[in-house]
Amino acid sequence: MRLVFLGPPGAGKGTQAKTLSEQHGWPHLSSGDILRAEAKAGSPLGKQAAGYMEAGKLVPDSLIVDLMVERATRPDCRKGFLLDGFPRTAVQAEALDKALAARNAPLDAVIYFACGDVEVLGRITGRRTCPNCGGVYHVRTLQPKKEGVCDRCGAALVQRKDDSEAVVGQRLATYRLLTEPLIEYYRARGVLRQIEAEQSIGAINEELAGILTQVSARPS
Ligand code: AP5
């Protein structure tokens, strides 16, 4: 199944995408994770992207579109993929549609994670991530067994630079201006499905499973 997860920063897209990817074997293609890996490696792309990311702004379409479209059309994505964080602008959405249409492999669904600003702020400022394996935790809702230490690999957890309260406001403003219009873009194409993302992680996972059952039963 070819899915896009759309929604404000911190709505829980990555948390659900990781679980679904493990359940179904579809590659989890997170544009944020890919850009952070490039920045960590000090690649030319990573160096260009880092300033935008730390400021809570989108990296230019010219840096991200070809990279993500190429990734989503690799052989390991033939049976499906979970795009998380891409597309985020009209230009990105149109480029993705074009590439998928050329392969006769359109999106099956775009899942919109609806989440209010207060919840977003609490989730983002409380998030802790593992710089080694990418594990994601929360200081209240998803605590590691040992405080500050990743359950999976034992590395010390950190707070992402763009997860500070100061940057979250800019990330939300960027989302409203450039990404929120994609809700109507995909609704008009008949692929949008909405999830109330303020529920618990488990409840969202169950709702997602129900949506995927409906989508896969739909005649193509
Ligand atoms: P990116 O990494 O994509 O960040 P984002 O969209 O802002 O999304 P997040 O990773 O912050 O949130 P999420 O929805 O995945 O939430 P999570 O599951 O972690 O992008 C970062 C930057 O990269 C951008 O600002 C931009 O600069 C650049 N970039 C990336 N893609 C780009 C693109 N396409 N074009 C241009 N620039 C791009 O959950 C958050 C927290 O809440 C966690 O602590 C989690 O444990 C907790 N939580 C999750 N679900 C629940 C729940 N149901 N109940 C309670 N707590 C929960």
Q: With a 6 A CB cut-off, is 193 part of the ligand 1 pocket?
A: no
Please state, in angstroms and as integers, the Cα–Cα distance from residue 177 to each residue in 143, 182, 198, following that order: 33, 10, 22
CA distance 174 to 21: 27
Domain membership of residue 220 (yes or no) is no
Nearest to 54 by CA among 39, 67, 41, 42: 39
DSSP symbol at 150: -
pLDDT band of residue 218 (cuts 50, 70, 90) is confident
Range of the domain at 72: 2-214
Q: How far is CA 74 from the centre of its chain?
A: 19
Is the pLDDT assigned to residue 187 strictly greater than 90?
Answer: yes
Q: With a 6 A CB cut-off, is 5 part of the ligand 1 pocket?
A: no
Q: With a 6 A CB cut-off, is 182 part of the ligand 1 pocket?
A: no
Nearest to 81 by CA among 147, 156, 1, 141: 1
- To the nearest whole number, what is the mean pLDDT of the chain? 96
Domain membership of residue 219 (yes or no) is no
Question: What is the tens place of the pLDDT at every residue in 159-184?
Answer: 999 999 999 999 999 999 999 999 99
Q: How far is CA 20 from the centre of its chain?
A: 12
Is the pLDDT assigned to residue 220 strictly greater than 70?
Answer: no
Q: What is the pairing mode between strands 2-6 and 109-114?
A: parallel
What percent of the chain is predicted at pLDDT more than 90?
A: 97
Which residues form the catalytic set?
A: 13, 88, 127, 160, 171
Question: What is the tens place of the pLDDT at every residue in 32-84?
Answer: 999 999 999 999 999 999 999 999 999 999 999 999 999 999 999 999 999 99
CA distance 114 to 91: 22
Token output for 59: 């990296």
**Contact residues for 203 (Cβ-Cβ < 8 A; gap 6+):** none
How many CB atoms are closer than 10 A to CB 213? Answer: 9
* Ligand 1, atom 26, residue with closest C-alpha: 58
Q: What per-residue confidence (pLDDT) applies to 47?
A: 96
How many CB atoms are closer than 10 A to CB 111? Answer: 28
CA distance 29 to 119: 24
Domain membership of residue 207 (yes or no) is yes
The structure's pTM equals 0.96
Question: Residue 31 is part of a domain; what is its CATH number?
Answer: 3.40.50.300
Domain membership of residue 51 (yes or no) is yes
Nearest to 162 by CA among 153, 180, 174, 152: 174
Q: With a 6 A CB cut-off, is 141 part of the ligand 1 pocket?
A: yes
Ligand 1 mean position to 219 CA, how many Å?
32
Q: Based on the structure, what is the number of domains in the chain?
A: 1
Q: What per-residue confidence (pLDDT) applies to 140?
A: 94
Report the nearest atom of ligand 1 relative to the CA of 11: 14
Q: With a 6 A CB cut-off, is 88 part of the ligand 1 pocket?
A: yes
- The best mutation among 16, 58, 137 to test binding of ligand 1, ranked by most ligand atoms within 8 Å of the C-beta, falls on 58
Helices (H), the chain: 13-24, 31-41, 44-55, 61-72, 90-102, 117-125, 165-174, 181-188, 201-217
Question: What is the tens place of the pLDDT at every residue in 112-167?
Answer: 999 999 999 999 999 999 999 999 999 999 999 999 999 999 999 999 999 999 99
Q: With a 6 A CB cut-off, is 135 part of the ligand 1 pocket?
A: no
Report the nearest atom of ligand 1 relative to the CA of 198: 53
**Cross-strand partners of 3:** 82, 109
Q: What per-residue confidence (pLDDT) applies to 183?
A: 98
How many CB atoms are closer than 10 A to CB 210? Answer: 10
